[in-house]
Structure 1
Amino acid sequence: FIEKNAPTLPVWKRELIRIVRKVSQYFYPQGMTKVMNEGFATFMHYHIINEMFEQGYIDDGFMLEFIHSHSSVVFQPEFNSPYFSGINPYALGFNVFMDIKRICQDPTEEDRNWFPNLIGKDWLDEVHYAMENFRDDSFILQYLSPKVMRDMRLFLIADFEEEDEYEISAIHNERGYRKIRESLSNQYRRAFYVPDIQVDRVDLHTTSKLHMVHQIVDDKRLDPREAQSTLEHVRYLWEFPVELTSRNKLGINEEVYQCD
């Protein structure tokens, strides 16, 4: 919007903004498919190398080096490990793709109840279908199985602002599977980690002030310092006053940030 509508922005600055916009648009889908990208690449690498080994194209030494490298890539530290920094997208994606293959080839009774549409299917077709038609949040919601949740020892922590302590609200058992899967899926929704900020209007006939609106999602508010700092950069590009309003789902303005 600034690139095309800033009243006094020089041509060379518009061109720089256009370049940044184009690059951001190119990488936009990648931010929503990190688990799938890394998981699919790791899964196919693992499958191809094992096929080559079984057919005698690579020797034991190469295979041992691959296993060492692969194990490091998909290593998932325990939640209480000093090296834990969240769920490893390589590990999660690889485990889910491997599980799709397992369910197609050797399903259990549990798999038949959870994934009846995968039973007896060609695993390669199903893996390709998943890779081509889902992003991280929908992929997890569709394919994360109880077995993977048990293997990765997933559990859900409830962190309420008004409470002094954390609460373990779900573990990898019959009562917790769907709750864990839904919560993990939500963490990969773009709205979970990128605020929804859009241009609302411009006071063209008076001050040329740019008005933007932030839609509060799941009660996630902007950090005041970060919001004000970002607003200053927008003001630098727009070259006129700017205003950012945080609005909740009821349409009520909760915070207003300004930079004149």
Structure 2
Amino acid sequence: MTQVLHQDRPLYTGADWDYALIKKAYDAIEAVAVGEMGLDPYPGQVEIISSEQMLDAYASMGMPVFYRHWSFGKHFARDEMYYRKGMTGLAYEIVINSNPCLCYIMEENTMTLQTLVMAHAAFGHSHFFKNNQLFRSWTDAESILDYLEFAKGYVARCEERYGQREVERVLDAAHALMTHGVHRYPRRQPLNLQEEMDRRRARVRHEEQTFNDLWRTLPQKGDGDGEAIAAGVRDRRQALGLPEENLLYFLEKRAPKLEHWQREILRIVRMVSQYFYPQKQTKVMNEGCATAVHYHIMTRLHETGRLTDGAFMEFLHHHTNVVFQPGFDDPRYSGINPYALGFHILQDLKRMALEPTEEDRRWFPDIAGSGDFLAVWKHAWAEYRDESFILQFLGPKVMRDLRLFALRDDAREPHLTVEAIHDDAGYREVRRALSAQYDLARHEPDIQVVDVDLAGDRRLILEHRTQDGRLLSEPDAHRVLAHLARLWGYPVRLYEVDARSEAVLNEYGDVEPRED
């Protein structure tokens, strides 16, 4: 590790801050993050905001610029009520995956907290955003702010031209389908939002032609033999690009009744959903990275005299709150704290690299005793997502420290069964079970468009490929199908099919489009 810091006077001595102190602390943090740790973040832009501005950012998905929608106001009113009544606190910061990386910090923070959150967000999160393969493949940090500005202006112009109610109806339906508006497999070239904006006019002309050709060329009804009918189905599915798991993409390209401005709004919502897709898969890693980085930086600043003992104690108080993990029988327990899990795994990797045990050498022979924990960290941050990160790097010591165990919860049995604990026989099963909890396929239903009755009533056919027999909530399914039918313009039918046996487990009959 390159030593670049020297013993010096403290950066500050009290709780109060000013812009000169913020800049001084930022420079000291950068000296450790870049000079010592070799991090590679985006250029940073720190902005100080009020609690009301933080609540506003909460409401609009953390975005600094966004189109208007009634749900954002509802979220703002709810969060503000909880905050004013002392029922909840606010995040110390919000960070935007953009270039430059925007880091919003609250004016109510003390100087120590400002230093902590800059280390956490402007360097920890920023390095992760810039270097993780999922973000590199799926997001465009260079153009996201320009694209959001374009989206805000476009939606506003549509409201002026077509009416707020009409635009709101499209946005309501698109938001209901937002989790089903992503491509789950990497594209050949990274997303470029600037090119998306530039190609909009050409896209409208192209879609006009291909859309008309598709819907004019309908298959003719007739008896025919089974082989001819099967061939016709194959041709139809191929022409429509089926099966298609990205429902917003399919509707944008193929819905027969949507106007061009409505398709563009679907595309905007789809792009925003795609932007958040990597974050849903890297919560443990992203927060673990930022927490490990801020802990290392703040410790180094204290060791070199840049933080007073009092400031360091204040930091440790905040840090301990961030990584606190209540036990399963604690009233405060609400699941695994991603900050705690990510931080513990990374600190364990550091310990293995510097002070390995025989157990470490058996479990992690390539890491134990390597001496370069930063190289191990950077490799993990760049190449893994939560599911694979846990499966690859969760070690026995962390399982013991966090007292992890695996339960079997079978609705057909009257009791829970402890299947594995933190011992030699259970480590691998606990690790496998915990890793599986971070597999998005287990939490988000796999719903695909599989066919369209072009020659009949243009009914849209969807399949939900179920895992472990878990079916959709009927009330929620009916509401979302109603939104989908509104965008499609014709009836929609959904089958729930076992992914292994192909058996039909449930069916939602035709949901007709209706006007509110």
TM-score, normalization: structure 2?
Answer: 0.50
Structure 2 CA distance for aligned equivalents of residues 66 and 204 of structure 1:
63
CA separation in 2, counterparts of 1:150 and 1:50?
Answer: 25
Q: Confirm whether residue 256 of structure 1 aligns to residue 507 of structure 2.
A: yes
Alpha-carbon distance in structure 2 between the residues aligned to 1:187 and 1:129? 23
| SS of equivalent to 2:436 | helix
Q: How does 1:22-37 map to 2 (within 5 A)?
A: 22-37=271-286
The CA distance in 1 between the partners of 2:341 and 2:313, in whole Å, is: 23
Measured against aligned partners, the alpha-carbon deviations of 1:46-93 in whole angstroms (never above 9, x if no partner) come to: 001101111111111110111010000000011111110000000000
Instruction: Indicate the residue corresponding to 1:186 in structure 2.
Output: 436
Given the two structures, how large is their TM-score scaled by the length of structure 1? 0.98
Q: Which amino acid aligns with 2:462?
A: M
Deviations 1:141-176 (A, max 9, x none): 000001000000011111111101111111111111
Distance in 2 (CA, whole Å) between partners of 1:169 and 1:40 is: 31
State how 1:9-158 maps to structure 2 within 5 Å.
9-121=258-370, 122-158=372-408
SS in 1 for 2:399: helix
Greater CA deviation, 87-96 or 48-57? 48-57
C-alpha deviation, 1:209, in angstroms: 0.8
Q: Per-residue CA shift, 1:13-33, capped at 9, x if unaligned?
A: 212111110001111111000
Per-residue Cα deviation, 1:173-214 (whole angstroms, up to 9, x for no partner) = 111111100000000001111111111011112111111111
- 2:453 corresponds in structure 1 to 203
Secondary structure class of the residue paired with 1:17? helix
State the shift of 1:220 in Å.
Answer: 2.3
- Mapped to 1, the partners of 2:385 and 2:471 lie a distance apart of 25
Whole-Å separation in 2 of the counterparts to 1:136 and 1:181: 12
How many Å apart are 1:219 and its aligned residue? Answer: 2.8
In the alignment, residue 76 of structure 1 is paired with which amino acid?
Q
**Partner of 1:28: helix, strand, or coil?**
helix
Q: Which letter does structure 1 place at the counterpart of 2:319?
A: H
Runs of 4 or more above 6 Å deviation? none
Indicate which of 232, 235, 240 corresponds to 2:482: 232
AA matched with 2:444: V
Amino acid at match of 2:255: A
Q: Does 1:221 align with 2:464?
A: no
Please point out which of 409, 419, 425 is paired with 1:175: 425
Q: Which has the larger radius of gyration?
A: 2
Structure 2 counterpart of 1:219, one-letter code: G
Q: Look up the SS of the partner of 1:161 in the other structure.
A: coil
Percent identical pairs in the alignment equals: 49
How far has the Cα of 1:242 moved from its partner?
A: 0.4
Matched, 1:159 2:409: yes
Count how many residue pairs are aligned between Structure 1 and Structure 2: 260
The whole-number CA distance in structure 1 between the counterparts of 2:439 and 2:365 is 26
Cα distance in structure 1, aligned partners of 2:347 and 2:368: 14
SS in structure 1 at match of 2:342: helix
Shift of 1:222: 1.5
SS at match of 1:81: coil
- Structure 2 residue runs of 5 or longer lacking an equivalent are 1-249
* Structure 1 portions without partners, runs of 5+: none
Which stretch shows the higher mean deviation, 30-39 or 113-122? 113-122
> What residue identity is the alignment partner of 1:38?
E
The amino acid that maps onto 1:34 is: K
Aligned partners of 1:126, 1:219: CA distance in 2, in Å?
39
SS in 1 for 2:294: helix
Equivalent position amino acid for 2:303 in 1: E
SS at match of 1:61: helix
1:244 alignment partner, SS class: strand
